[in-house]
Amino acid sequence: MFTFFSNIDKRVGWLLEAAAFVSSLLVVGLMLFLVLARYVFGWSVVGLLELIMLFGMWLYMLGGLIASRRNEHLVVDFVELKITDERMKLMHKALISLITFAICVFFIVLSYRMLAWGMRRPQSSPGMGIPIWMPQASIMLAAIGCTCYALRDFICSVVNVRRLSKEGQ
């Protein structure tokens, strides 16, 4: 069972990193084109900033999701550093994961409402006519992904606490 989820995680991780790479290439390439077009050739390319912001939004949300997957996101670990008992450290990690999970569920609710609003009241950007729900979808993906990773962290912490308790008997 562990191997199955590990394989899924590797594939999802590869997909996230590939999408982030493509998004970053598009952001950099389009910014370079915008600067060259505007200042070298004197062209005014309408809507290019909207496209850059769209890919920038996806890049930002994918980056947050990748950091959450790897447990490399910012943390305040003052309390964790003071805990010396391994079992207490794992229980602390489980508590933090549970709090993170609850916050992420709230994040899903908010992002769903925002995405649903964007679908019910279709709006688009003025220059290129990009639907407003396209950048909002990146927020929804990040909310769902971070919730899944918070749940993963909670389950792993609880399993490790139980394993450590059984070893201590």
Number of CB atoms found within 10 A of residue 18's CB: 11
pLDDT more than 70, % of the chain: 98
pLDDT of residue 66: 96
Looking at residue 148, the DSSP 8-state letter turns out to be: H
Q: Which residues of 43-64 are buried (b: 16+ CB within 10 A; e: fewer)?
A: eeeeebbbbbebbbbbbbbbbb
What would the mean pLDDT of 109-115 be, rounded to a whole number?
Answer: 96
This prediction's pTM: 0.87
What would the mean pLDDT of 43-49 be, rounded to a whole number?
Answer: 89
Residues 6 or more apart from 105 whose CB is under 8 A from it? 147
**Measured at the alpha carbon of residue 152, what is the angle toward residues 150 and 156, in degrees to the nearest 5?**
120
Question: pLDDT tens-digit profile of 13-25?
Answer: 999 999 999 999 9
SS3 category, 58: helix
C-alpha of 46 from chain center: 30
Euclidean distance between the first and the last CA atom of the chain, given in angstroms as a whole number: 26
pLDDT of residue 169: 56
